[in-house]
Amino acid sequence: MTWWEMLLLFAAGVGGGLTGSIAGLASVSTYPALLMVGLPPVTANVTNTVALVFNAVGSVRGSLPELAGQGPQLRRLVPMACLGGLAGAVLLLSIPAEGFENVVPVLLAVASIAIALPKGKNADVAPTKARTIAKAAIVGLICIYGGFFGAAAGVLLLALFLRTGANTLADANATKNVVLGASNGVAAVVFAFVASVHWPAVAAMGVGCLIGARLGPIVVRHAPSTPLRMLIAVAGLALAVKLGYDTYR
């Protein structure tokens, strides 16, 4: 790998870390960069997942103020995220990608619209046991997709947490960073042992992800919530259109 390819991956990592820790859109920057330097799609996918472990480290570190008091919720959700990431990684190594890719544009569009809409009156109601179980199950399903491919899994999680009780966008983003980080971490361990990870690319991109992801939660904490939600929603819809065009044409 040449020096300019390493520099490209580093820059893509910074961009991916920043967008991923803010909106869950890291792979929009990182995955195409890995393809651009010549990695085959599956190798790029697993390399991307491993590199995004650094994204989780930076984003969770930056989200510590918002994570205060979230321990009980995270203890329920993180195990489901880990199981989902494991299942997604196994699926990636076992079956073709078309089944998941066909439904992703629709899910992403719905999630983006959900982010744009204001919170309803029921969002702050104390969750029932049934709602808590349903929320954990949905997290598991999203994380299966995250372990399998991952593009925009963070947007789906962000929409879920915004609609199910998060007080602010920053709180929902912090929860998303931990849950997605757990899912990616488990999938990355699987890929590290049984898949063709390109480690020089991981090193270059991972450093960039760590830097960008550390800054993202600071932006979310201080930026006006409504304009930022709209920006995330527009970016998600644009990605949904792009993925839909690539998938259905």
13 and 30 Cβ atoms separated by less than 8 Å: yes
The ranges assigned to domains in the chain are 3-248
Q: For 61-80, how does the pLDDT look when each residue is reduced to its tens digit (9 = 90+)?
A: 999 999 998 999 999 999 99
Phi, psi angles (nearest 5°) of residue 126 = -55, 130
DSSP state of 166: -
Report the predicted TM-score, pTM, of the whole model to 2 decimal places.
0.82
Q: What is the pLDDT of residue 100?
A: 57
Residue 126: is its pLDDT beyond 80? no
- Continuous H helices in 93-196: 98-116, 129-148, 153-163, 169-194
Q: What is the pLDDT of residue 86?
A: 96
Tokens, residue 127: 């969750």
Tokens, residue 35: 């393809």
26 and 19 Cβ atoms separated by less than 8 Å: yes
User: What's the distance, Cα to Cα, between the start and end of the chain in Å?
Assistant: 33
Residue 174 CB contacts under 8 Å (≥ 6 apart), including other chains: 60, 63, 66, 67, 70, 217
Q: For 143-194, how does the pLDDT look when each residue is reduced to its tens digit (9 = 90+)?
A: 998 888 766 788 889 889 988 877 888 899 899 999 999 999 999 999 999 9
* 148-168 burial: b if 16+ Cβ within 10 Å, else e: bbbbbbbbbbbbbbbbbbbee
Q: Which residue is listed with tokens 């063709």?
A: 196
Residue 204: is its pLDDT beyond 60? yes
Compare 24 and 138 and report the one with higher pLDDT. 138
